[in-house]
Structure 1
Amino acid sequence: FGGLVFFLREATLMKRRKRALLLAGPEGFVDRLKTAMETFFPGGWIDAPPFGLTLIEYEAEKELVLGPLTVKPFRVRHACGAPPYALRITFGGRTVAYTGDTEWVETLCDLGADADLFICEAYFFSRPINKHLSYETVAARLIDIKPKRLLLTHLNEDMLHRLADVLHDVAEDGMVIDLN
C-alpha cells in the first residue's frame, strides 16, 4: 500500500504522467492514501493532479466495473490495519481470483469458483496458523472451490522445503501465465 504514495509522487513530479489513473481499494482507502501521502510528504497531497486521478472504494461482494474489468471483492480474515479483501477479476472472458493473505474463510469457495486461475497463498504446508492458509487446507477444499487452475504463492521456508510434496503449480519470479 505504501508504494502507492511513491508511485503517485513520481507520476506527478518526475514522470509528468498525462494518462488518467484509476485506483480502487477497500472502504477507508481514500483517507488512508491521503494520510500516507501527508505522512511521507507533508503538503504533498494534490486533489487534482495533472493526469486525472480517480479513487474508488469497493464493498464486499459488490461487483465493480472498471472499464473492461469486472472486479468482485470478497472479505477475508487477516491482520493488516485495513479491511482485507480477496479479489475476483474478470477480463476478456477469463477470470483470475486472488486470495491475498487470509486464513480459511468460506467466501474463498465463491471467490475461486470456476476461475481460470486461482492464485492462493499457502504459507505453511500443513501447520494451521491464524491469518494464513496452509497447502493442506487449500488442497482439501479444492473440491468445493473447483478452479480450473491453482497457483500457489506466499510460501514460507516450511513450504519451500516441501515442494516435492506439492501437487499444484507454484508461482515463481518472472512467471508468465497464458490464460487462453
Structure 2
Amino acid sequence: MELTVLGCGDAFGNGGRNNTSFLLSEGDERILLDCGASTLIRLKHEKIDLESISTIVISHFHGDHFGGIPFFLISSMFENPRKKPLTIVGPEGVAKRVFDLQEAMYAGTAAKTLEMDLTYHEYEESEPLILVDKTITAWKAEHSPPSIPHCIRVEWKGKTIAFSGDTSWTDNLIPLADGSDLFICECNFLDKVNFGHLGYSELLEKQTLFNTKQMWLTHMADEVIESSDSSFNKLTDGLKITI
C-alpha cells in the first residue's frame, strides 16, 4: 500500500504547503483521508483518476480539511461524469454539511449531487464502522468543537493507518496509534499550546506512548518545518510512503 501526501499544510499555508489530504492507494482503488480546499489541484498534479477514489474520510469540518469536496464533486459531475459509487464518511451531520457547502460554493449544484451514486456514513465515537473491506474507527479530538473534530483510524487490506486530525493532547491518541502501520500526527507548534493543536516539545515527551511502525508529523507551522531537530519524520507535499 502507498500513501501520497497531497497536502500537509496548516490552515495558513505555512511553508507554502497545500491543505490537508492524504491518498491511500492499493491496487486500482484509492481512499482520501481529508479533502482540503486544494485537493483537486493536487490530484490532477499527481494524475489521479477521481473514479479510482472510492471513499473520502473526513476528520472534521474545517475548510482546510473538507473544503475540497465541492471541487471534487463538480469535477465528478460535469468534467468527467462519475460512473462508480462514492462514499463519504465523516462526523455527525456530514451529508448536510457537504450539501450546504456545495450550494454555498457552487450555487445550484447541490441538488445535482442527489443524482450521483453518493452514500454518506457517520462514524460514532470509538465504534468501528465497517464498509465492505474497510473498517473506520474515530475518537473525539480536542479542537474547535463546532467542527466536530475526530481522530481517524482506517484498517484496509491488512494495513492500519492512524491520523490525529487537528487536536491538542488527548489520551485518545494512544489507542488511535496502537498497532498501526503508519501514524500521521499533527504538530502545529514547537511548544505546547493551551488548546486545539499539539506542540513538538509535547510530542517528544509523549512519543514512547505511541505503538506504531512509523510516525510522521503534519500540519506544521513554519517554526516546526524549519526546526533542525530530527526526532520525528516530517511530511512534505508530494511525498510517497510505502506502508
Tell me, yes or no, whether TM beats 0.5: yes
Query: Which structure would you say has the larger RCO, counting Cα contacts within 8 Å and 6 or more residues apart?
Result: 2
Distance (Å, rounded) in 2 between the aligned partners of 1:40 and 1:136? 39
Instruction: Report the alpha carbon displacement of residue 155 of structure 1 after superposing the two structures with TM.
Output: 1.2
Alignment match of 2:79 (pick from 14, 17, 29): 14
| TM superposition score normalised by structure 2 | 0.68
Q: Percent identity?
A: 31
Alignment match of 1:53 (pick from 118, 131, 145): 118
Alignment match of 1:65 (pick from 130, 140, 143): 130
Structure 2 matches for 1:83-122, cutoff 5 A? 83-122=148-187
Instruction: Report the alpha carbon displacement of residue 8 of structure 1 after superposing the two structures with TM.
Output: 1.2
Alignment match of 1:132 (pick from 193, 197, 213): 197
Instruction: Report the alpha carbon displacement of residue 80 of structure 1 after superposing the two structures with TM.
Output: 6.5
Q: Once the two structures are superposed, what CA deviation does each residue of 1:26-85 show, in whole Å capped at 9, x if it has no partner? A: 0011111111122233332236424x1111111111111123221101110111632101
Distance (Å, rounded) in 2 between the aligned partners of 1:170 and 1:130? 22
Higher mean alpha-carbon deviation, 149-158 vs 33-42, is at 33-42
Higher mean alpha-carbon deviation, 5-14 vs 89-98, is at 5-14
Q: Secondary structure at the match of 1:165?
A: coil
Distance (Å, rounded) in 2 between the aligned partners of 1:67 and 1:113? 23
Query: In structure 2, do the counterparts of structure 1 residues 13 and 161 end up closer, same or farther at CA, with 3 Å as the change threshold?
Result: closer
**Does the Cα contact within 8 Å between 2:73 and 2:113 map onto a contact in 1?**
no
Q: Which runs of 5+ in 1 are unaligned?
A: none
Two-structure CA RMSD over aligned residues (Å): 1.6
Partner amino acid, structure 2, of 1:124: F
Q: Which runs of 5+ in 2 are unaligned?
A: 1-65
Partner amino acid, structure 1, of 2:238: G
**Does the Cα contact within 8 Å between 2:162 and 2:180 map onto a contact in 1?**
yes
Alignment match of 1:3 (pick from 56, 68, 80): 68
Query: In structure 2, do the counterparts of structure 1 residues 31 and 92 end up closer, same or farther at CA, with 3 Å as the change threshold?
Result: same
Alignment partner, residue 168 of structure 1: 232
Partner amino acid, structure 2, of 1:107: N
Alignment partner, residue 178 of structure 1: 242
Alignment partner, residue 35 of structure 1: 100
Larger radius of gyration: 1
Distance (Å, rounded) in 1 between the aligned partners of 2:192 and 2:152? 25
| Equivalent pairs, count | 177
**Does the Cα contact within 8 Å between 1:28 and 1:82 map onto a contact in 2?**
no
Q: Secondary structure at the match of 1:46?
A: helix
Partner amino acid, structure 2, of 1:66: L
| TM superposition score normalised by structure 1 | 0.90
